[in-house]
Amino acid sequence: MSMPAIAAPTRQENESEIYAKMYGAMPNEKFPIPAADLRGLDPAYYRRIGEYKTDERPGTVIVDTEQKVTFLVLPEGKAIRYGVGIGRAGFGWAGRGIIQFKRAWPTWTPPSEMIERQPELEPYRNGMAPGLDNPLGARALYIFQNGRDTLYRLHGTSDPMSIGKAVSSGCVRFLNQDIIDLYNRVPDRTPILVTGDASAVHVHS
């Protein structure tokens, strides 16, 4: 796999300007999204496009939990790569599935197992309203396997420090700007492959 930093900049722009625009404020969202603070984020996790060798067909989403990146396979041996945060040890899921559906500014409903571990989440048993403080962020993609909800989500976050780390309770988190980009590129029923420990128990983040 070869993954250059970004597409070649125009003569008016340099790399820092391109990334500042890529992760800039999104004031037209339902809940305006501030620019991402990239100072604590390793540039290795910035959104990139480049060469990518895989047998998966274009349009497939591949979550590489070891590298903590997600790929959207493109035609002609290319892919878009997004840096992500993944679940802590014991909170993973792996396998093949589909993105059954997508939601903009979703409601977050913690499962009962999570509420048992974190009783302070009891007020959200019936759902937490959308917004910048919602753990699912600006978008969520819902993963099903064999017709059943895995409770596994690809979703947004406003916390750049969590990207490239194993910090969540199982789901894969993207910067809000990146999950919006992916959301806009993939339709419902997109195939997804998640690599990692298939024996791990997954719960919703």
pLDDT digit string, tens, across residues 13-29: 688 889 999 999 999 99
Give the pair of three-digit tokens for residue 52: 């990518």
What does the block give as tokens for 175?
């910067």
Give the active site residues: 155, 171
Q: Give, in order, the Cα–Cα distances in Å from 196 to each of 23, 26, 87, 182.
A: 28, 33, 11, 21
The strand pairing partners of 81, in sequence order, are 48, 71
Rounded CA separation 164/8 (Å) = 25
- The full 3-state SS of 40-80, as one line of letters, equals HCCHHHCCEEEECCCCCCCCCEEEECCCCEEEEEECCCEEE
pLDDT in tens, 79-112: 999 999 997 654 567 899 999 999 999 998 877 7
Structure tokens at 12: 């008016």
Q: For the chain, what is the largest distance between any 2 Cα atoms, rounded to a whole number of angstroms?
A: 55
- Phi-psi category of 196—alpha, beta or left, where left has phi over 0 and alpha has psi -120 to 50? left
Query: Is the pLDDT assigned to residue 64 strictly greater than 80?
Result: yes
All structural domains of the chain with their residue ranges:
15-195
Q: Name the CATH topology of 15-195.
A: L,D-transpeptidase catalytic domain-like (2.40.440)
Is residue 2 over pLDDT 60?
no
